């Protein structure tokens, strides 16, 4: 977050559009920095969860909409952020919409917390679990977006930055993380039970003092559109 405010140019009190905001996880970080957040999310259940979490904050607003049709007024935001969402967009339509709602000089930041898939036995085995049992894992994987596609989204030079971070989970936390993924099969799906059996074996083989570790590279691509 320091990078977004110190380098990209987001400012406290400025209106920021959080596109594809989901349940408001990234909105929370923007609110903590003092920004006024207009969250845009097409899914009603996710909007309701975000409203329940942040609705008491006068600097938070959530509206139904998509990257392509946000419903926001012309030139109404100083910054636009898309966290873990860009791979769902119609890029040309989203680019035109961002140009419409962004104020002159405003920046767009695309953010991913990209899980590393190699480096430890746990990371490699978890990746194999998703490849084996995930319902559409390869289709929605952010890594399928090329550098050329990212660069083409921006007008002029695209800037980028990378940061390393780590998450720690016990077994219940690991299950919750897997279940929250859009590509995880639901209970009753033929892949569900074998996936959960493999997950338990992976955890038991790799846990250190009852925990496993996910390593991430946070990727930020930003510029003007």
Domain ranges of the chain: 2-224
Which of 32-36, 91-95, 163-167, 182-186 has the weakest average pLDDT? 182-186
pLDDT higher at 77 or 84: 77
In this prediction, residues 154-174 reach a mean pLDDT of 96
In the structure, what pLDDT confidence band is assigned to residue 157 with cuts at 50, 70 and 90? very high
In this prediction, residues 166-187 reach a mean pLDDT of 92
pLDDT at 66 > cutoff 70: yes
In this prediction, residues 166-195 reach a mean pLDDT of 93
**What pLDDT score was predicted for residue 146?**
86
Instruction: Provide the 3-class DSSP secondary structure of residue 196.
Output: helix
Compute the distance between CA of residue 128 and CA of residue 113 in angstroms, rounded to an integer. 19
DSSP letter string, 94-147 = HHHHHHHHEEEEEEEEEEEEEE--SSSHHHHHHHHHHHHH-SSHHHH-GGGS-H
**What pLDDT score was predicted for residue 114?**
87
Residue 81: C-alpha distances to residues 8, 56, 161, 172, 193 (Å): 11, 22, 15, 31, 37
Q: Where are the alpha helices (DSSP H) in the chain?
A: 2-3, 25-32, 44-54, 91-101, 121-133, 137-140, 147-153, 171-179, 192-206
In this prediction, residues 32-40 reach a mean pLDDT of 97
In this prediction, residues 184-188 reach a mean pLDDT of 93
Q: What is the pLDDT of residues 111-122, one digit of tens each?
A: 998 899 999 999
Tell me if the domain spanning 2-224 has CATH number 3.40.50.150: yes
In this prediction, residues 94-107 reach a mean pLDDT of 97
pLDDT at 140 > cutoff 90: no
In the structure, what pLDDT confidence band is assigned to residue 142 with cuts at 50, 70 and 90? low
Compute the distance between CA of residue 18 and CA of residue 125 in angstroms, rounded to an integer. 33
pLDDT at 20 > cutoff 90: yes
Mean pLDDT across the chain, nearest whole number?
Answer: 94
**What pLDDT score was predicted for residue 139?**
59
In this prediction, residues 75-97 reach a mean pLDDT of 95
């Amino acid at each position: 977050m320091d990078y977004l405010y110190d380098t990209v140019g987001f400012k406290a009190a400025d209106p920021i559009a959080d596109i594809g905001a989901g349940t408001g996880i990234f909105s929370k970080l923007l609110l903590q920095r003092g920004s006024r957040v207009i969250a845009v999310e097409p899914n009603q259940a996710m909007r309701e969860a975000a409203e329940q979490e942040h609705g008491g904050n006068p600097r938070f607003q959530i509206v139904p909409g998509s990257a392509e049709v946000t419903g926001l007024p012309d030139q109404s935001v100083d910054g636009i952020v898309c966290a873990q969402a860009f791979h769902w967009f119609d890029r040309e339509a989203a680019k035109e919409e961002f140009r419409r709602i962004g104020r002159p000089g405003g920046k767009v930041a695309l953010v991913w917390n990209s899980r590393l898939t190699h480096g430890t036995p746990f990371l490699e085995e978890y990746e194999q679990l998703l490849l084996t049992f995930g319902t559409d894992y390869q289709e929605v994987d952010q890594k399928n977006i090329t550098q050329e596609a990212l660069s083409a989204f921006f007008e002029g030079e695209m800037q980028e930055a990378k940061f390393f971070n780590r998450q720690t989970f016990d077994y219940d936390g690991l299950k919750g993380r897997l279940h929250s993924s859009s590509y995880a099969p639901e209970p009753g799906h033929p892949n569900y039970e074998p996936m959960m059996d493999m997950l338990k074996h992976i955890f038991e083989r790799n846990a250190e003092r009852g925990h496993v570790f996910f390593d991430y590279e946070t990727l930020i691509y930003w510029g003007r559109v």
